[in-house]
Structure 1
Amino acid sequence: MTNKIKVLIVDDHPLILEGLKNLLTNDENINLIHLCKDAIETMEAIKKEVPEVALLDINLPDINGITLCEKIKHEFPSIQVIALTTFSQRSYINKMVEAGASGYLLKNAEKSEIISTIKEVNNGGICIRLRPETKRQYSESPNDINLTPREKEVLQYIAEGLTNNEIAKKLFVSVLTVNSHRKNLLRKFDVKNTALLIKKAASSGMV
């Protein structure tokens, strides 16, 4: 059996912490090592035992979750951070991603969504999960990057981890064509590599 993922949760509401504890404690994938109510307690806990994934509320009593995310990623870059919050506004999602978060969940998420997000970010992925209506509103903003239908297909396959050769076979086009689409995506998103492309696309609700 694979090793359990060490998880830390930060929320200043005791009922939320207790609920998440009950939800995750007995899961075969999760080792819940810290439950914290604020940033100070969080940083002290991390120094005692470093988690692999941290779930942060944005609204905390001392500093907000965005600032805490920046602090965690600066001092412990190996920790993958997930926002677990009631805020679904674009501004909060963008700020958390810019601060270094790899995931974004709303507090009404199902247990299966929480578990799969923890596993995905622990494996180096990016996971933004919103309500369907929220994601639609979020992704249809006029500020979004305009992509052609084929670029959207290529972007989705890139996010799924497919190589240029695999994408070419899926779309029945040449590898050179796929490479051209990939370069156009990097240019349109104004990023230098695939990891940043996926992260920016995820933060825009486009994958």
Structure 2
Amino acid sequence: MTQPYMGALKQVERLMQDSLGVYSQNSMNQLHDLCVQMSQDTIYDVDYLKLMELYGRKYRKEKNEDALRYVVMRMQQVTLARKNPKSAAKYKGIVFTDKPLDSFTKAFLQEFPLLLHTYEERYKVRILQMATFVFVILLIPLVLLFHLSFLIIWLLLLLLFGIFVYYTFKYGYESIVKDQIQDLIQSVDPTLKKLDQMQMSQ
């Protein structure tokens, strides 16, 4: 049975808010213990996002940019999955609900609105540039080699161009993001890394 963790997470949040300068050891110990418990349980999406928000605030305070980027990317993935049942089904350890996000979690996410979108746009631009370059380079040699009309070769290459771009956009981007997350996760706490392995496996 899924156990709600929001009450305990909010308690840690209050401890963190009461800390001056660095976060108190007590708040960090409680955050660690909650992460351990949640890695061994099926958890609600809102609880996962709250936990990640707290870790994000911790990493921002520590100026651990890679860990912070990992947290934000995972939060954005789960936030998007809340709107897409097909994506939500990939995350076996998370129960998706229609519960509203905590106001502090919303505010934290709004500080990084375009991270995944930026990755996607950069990826698409690179793929289009590469595909266009190959298209142009192959066009004239293929016309000369096969002695076909320029129009026929152009149409065939255009078809291949479209197929390549479609499948690369559809499947390649997810692979790039997955690889990026695997690089960034090396910077996070071992307990959070374990939670990722248990709850975010697809």
Q: TM-score, normalised by structure 1?
A: 0.31
Higher relative contact order (CA 8 A, sep 6+): 2
Tell me which structure has the larger Cα radius of gyration: 2
Which structure has the highest strand share of the two? 1
Q: TM-score, normalised by structure 2?
A: 0.32
Which structure has the highest helix share of the two? 2
